[in-house]
């Protein structure tokens, strides 16, 4: 049984305006349409809420990335996020990068997304919601959903304070997921929450089964990289631009090793290394960089695939990060971004935490 209200897609604009005008939030970060593209906007004026595109299957970056250091105490932001973005937000809260009292987390059902450029090129055909029929037609044209989405198990907007659901339902439904969410919705004029029994367990089972199939397909590709030399071949084109690090929502170190002289040698430092070894690849440390990143994010990676999208060389980073991360997370029986109260494994110590695994 959940507290909810059926709104329909058309009423969502009024909902967001109401959250702002009622003072439930001081600002909203939400995706809005801009021509054929979808862009995130930070809106503080209810009159500037124009064309919310919260279900549009477009992914440019993980919006949780811009919230790091959101520690303000007296301002509340409403975040209208896809589940992977909501999970990243929760991980950043655990890592003390976001003040949980300063956000209202609103998660939205997401059946999968396309890269921004693919979505923009096929906007008229895709529309505002993704269906299996649309996916099939685009696949025939060689346009596929992002690899990360094929193995995602958390496509339902059931994370945070408010959920906006449409998958498996007859109409769009706004659901209070927490007391904070219920209090915020109750402030909006015209909204009266009612109790309703909504069971989407069979839909979740279908999503999980499809995700397992997608992950197995990617694992087969990953097996070919078990040989370090083959992995090095895949990373040969890496220019160590660090885009994957900068776009990753859970990679937040204040001082990165690869910005220091030892991790990013230049000029004389580079020559000193070459004199010691006889030669040094330029740019240096490509493989070491990715192995270090994989280690750093292996527990908190939420598998959004933003790293691969940001790579200018088209390196299949979804094979390296989300797939490897899932193996580590399974070891600790940890699902990042799903439970705010569950500590991140590598931030705690238990003498028998790996027994009998």
Model pLDDT for residues 155-176, shown as the tens digit of each residue: 999 999 999 999 999 889 999 9
Kindly tell me if the per-residue pLDDT of 243 is higher than 70: yes
Kindly tell me if the per-residue pLDDT of 40 is higher than 70: yes
Kindly tell me if the per-residue pLDDT of 306 is higher than 70: yes
Bigger pLDDT: 223 or 1? 1
| Contact call for residues 328 and 321 (beta carbons, < 8 A) | no
What is the pLDDT at residue 16?
Answer: 97
What is the pLDDT at residue 8?
Answer: 81
What is the pLDDT at residue 184?
Answer: 97
Residue 118's pLDDT band, with cuts at 50, 70 and 90, is very high
Taking the C-alpha atoms of residue 335 and residue 174, their distance in angstroms, rounded to an integer, is 25
- Highest mean pLDDT, choosing among 145-159, 227-241, 340-354: 145-159
Model pLDDT for residues 72-106, shown as the tens digit of each residue: 888 999 999 999 999 999 999 999 999 999 999 99
Taking the C-alpha atoms of residue 58 and residue 61, their distance in angstroms, rounded to an integer, is 9
Taking the C-alpha atoms of residue 178 and residue 159, their distance in angstroms, rounded to an integer, is 10
Kindly tell me if the per-residue pLDDT of 356 is higher than 90: no
What is the pLDDT at residue 357?
Answer: 62
Query: Exposed, middle or buried: residue 107 (CB in 10 Å: 0-12, 13-18, 19+)?
Result: buried
Kindly tell me if the per-residue pLDDT of 313 is higher than 70: yes
- Determine which of 30-34, 112-116, 202-206, 232-236 has the lowest per-residue pLDDT on average: 232-236
| Total-model pTM | 0.91
Give the pairing type, strands 103-108 and 162-165.
parallel
Kindly tell me if the per-residue pLDDT of 259 is higher than 80: yes
- Torsion-angle region of 329 (φ positive above 0: left; ψ -120 to 50: alpha; else: beta): alpha
What is the pLDDT at residue 353?
Answer: 67
Kindly tell me if the per-residue pLDDT of 44 is higher than 90: yes
Query: From residue 134, how far is each of 29, 74, 118, 145 by CA, in Å?
Result: 28, 44, 13, 11
What's the average model confidence in pLDDT over 26-47? 94
């Amino acid at each position: 049984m959940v507290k909810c209200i059926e709104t329909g897609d058309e009423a969502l604009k009024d909902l967001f305006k109401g959250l702002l005008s009622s003072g439930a939030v001081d600002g909203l970060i939400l995706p809005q349409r801009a021509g054929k593209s979808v862009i995130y906007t930070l809106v503080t004026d209810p009159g500037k809420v124009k064309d919310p595109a919260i279900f549009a299957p477009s992914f440019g970056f993980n919006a949780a990335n811009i919230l790091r250091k959101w520690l303000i105490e007296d301002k509340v932001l409403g975040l209208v996020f896809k589940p992977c973005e909501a999970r990243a937000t929760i991980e950043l809260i655990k890592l003390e990068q976001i003040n949980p009292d300063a956000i209202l987390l609103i998660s939205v059902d997401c059946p999968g997304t396309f890269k921004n450029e693919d979505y923009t090129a096929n906007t008229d055909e895709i529309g505002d919601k993704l269906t299996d029929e649309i996916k099939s037609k685009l696949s025939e044209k060689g346009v596929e959903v992002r690899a990360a989405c094929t193995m995602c198990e958390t496509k339902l907007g059931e994370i945070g304070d408010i959920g906006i659901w449409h998958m498996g339902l007859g109409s769009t439904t706004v659901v209070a997921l927490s007391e904070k969410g219920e209090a915020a919705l109750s402030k909006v004029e015209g909204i009266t929450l009612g109790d309703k029994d909504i069971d989407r367990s069979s839909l979740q089972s279908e999503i999980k089964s499809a995700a397992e199939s997608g992950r197995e397909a990617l694992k087969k590709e990953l097996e070919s990289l078990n040989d370090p030399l083959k992995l090095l071949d895949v990373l040969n084109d890496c220019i160590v631009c660090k885009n994957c690090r900068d776009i990753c929502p859970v990679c937040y170190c204040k001082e990165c090793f690869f910005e220091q002289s030892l991790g990013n040698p230049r000029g004389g430092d580079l020559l000193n290394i070459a004199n010691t070894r006889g030669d040094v690849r330029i740019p240096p440390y490509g493989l070491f960089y990715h192995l270090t990143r994989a280690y750093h994010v292996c527990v908190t990676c939420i598998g959004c695939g933003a790293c691969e999208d940001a790579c200018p060389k088209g390196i299949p980073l979804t094979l390296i990060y989300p797939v490897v991360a899932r193996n580590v997370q399974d070891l600790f029986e940890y699902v990042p971004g799903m439970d705010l109260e569950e500590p991140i494994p590598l931030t705690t110590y238990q003498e028998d935490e790996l027994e009998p695994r």
